[in-house]
Amino acid sequence: MDFALRALPYAENALEPYLGAETLRLHREKHHGGYLDELERLIGGSPQAADSLETIVATATGHLFETAAQVWNHDFLWRSMRPRGGGDPPGPIAEALVRSFGDVDGFRRMFRMEAMEQFGSGWIWLVLDRGRLRVTTTDNAQLPLTRGQTPLVTLDLWEHAYYLDYRNERKRYVEAFLDHLIDWDFVAANLKAEPPRAQSV
Ligand code: FE2
């Protein structure tokens, strides 16, 4: 795997006013970059360094797992957002959300509620799980890959992700993500890579 911190897919200030440039810079350089540095310290130069990040996540335990998983989670996070994102999903995504949540607002309510109920640090995800879309949260560095779920989009619920912009108001941060940041094209691409199976009753 490559231990270099990749560029964001947009400018640091591109998500303003919903996420500030300082938040993105600190989050990417200090947190995401810090996990990459730690991962290199743990396995750099070893045979394991030649493995893909996904393989390391799937096989590691303890501190190595947590560090590798946080690198994977942050890579996925940056691609989960885009400037002028959010709002209504495109038709095929809307149809999938209706099948699983009753309507698009049902998805939004579930996402908000689960994000607010996550106690402490973690992540909220829209995943594909046995052919259905689900909203789920994970604690700390945990991620859906180890549960056999396919992640479609994520939002970081660690306070470092939003405290500069929203202080303790996680709800406003989550609503800004849904209304203005979520990249539905990224969801569509992940769903297309693994389309939902026909539902069994
Ligand atoms: Fe983070």
Ligand 1 midpoint to CA 24 (Å): 10
pLDDT on residue 197:
60
pLDDT on residue 201:
38
What is the distance between the alpha carbons of residues 24 and 107, in angstroms, rounded to a whole number?
Answer: 26
pTM recorded for the entire structure: 0.95
pLDDT on residue 193:
87
Ligand 1 midpoint to CA 97 (Å): 26
Report residue 22: phi and psi, to 5°: -65, -40
What is the distance between the alpha carbons of residues 68 and 38, in angstroms, rounded to a whole number?
Answer: 9
Ligand 1 midpoint to CA 30 (Å): 9
Report residue 80: phi and psi, to 5°: -80, -10
Ligand 1 midpoint to CA 144 (Å): 16
Closest CA to 19 of 88, 113, 85: 85
In this predicted model, what pLDDT tens digit does every residue of 69-126 receive, in sequence order? 999 999 999 999 999 999 999 999 999 999 999 999 999 999 999 999 999 999 999 9
Say if CB 124 and CB 157 are below 8 A apart. yes
**Structural domains for the chain:** 21-80 (1.10.287.990), 91-192 (3.55.40.20)
Kindly give, in sequence order, each residue whose CB lies less than 8 Å from that of residue 62, ignoring residues fewer than 6 positions away.
none
Q: Residues in the chain with pLDDT < 50?
A: 199-201
Task: Find the radius of gyration of the CA atoms of the chain.
Answer: 17
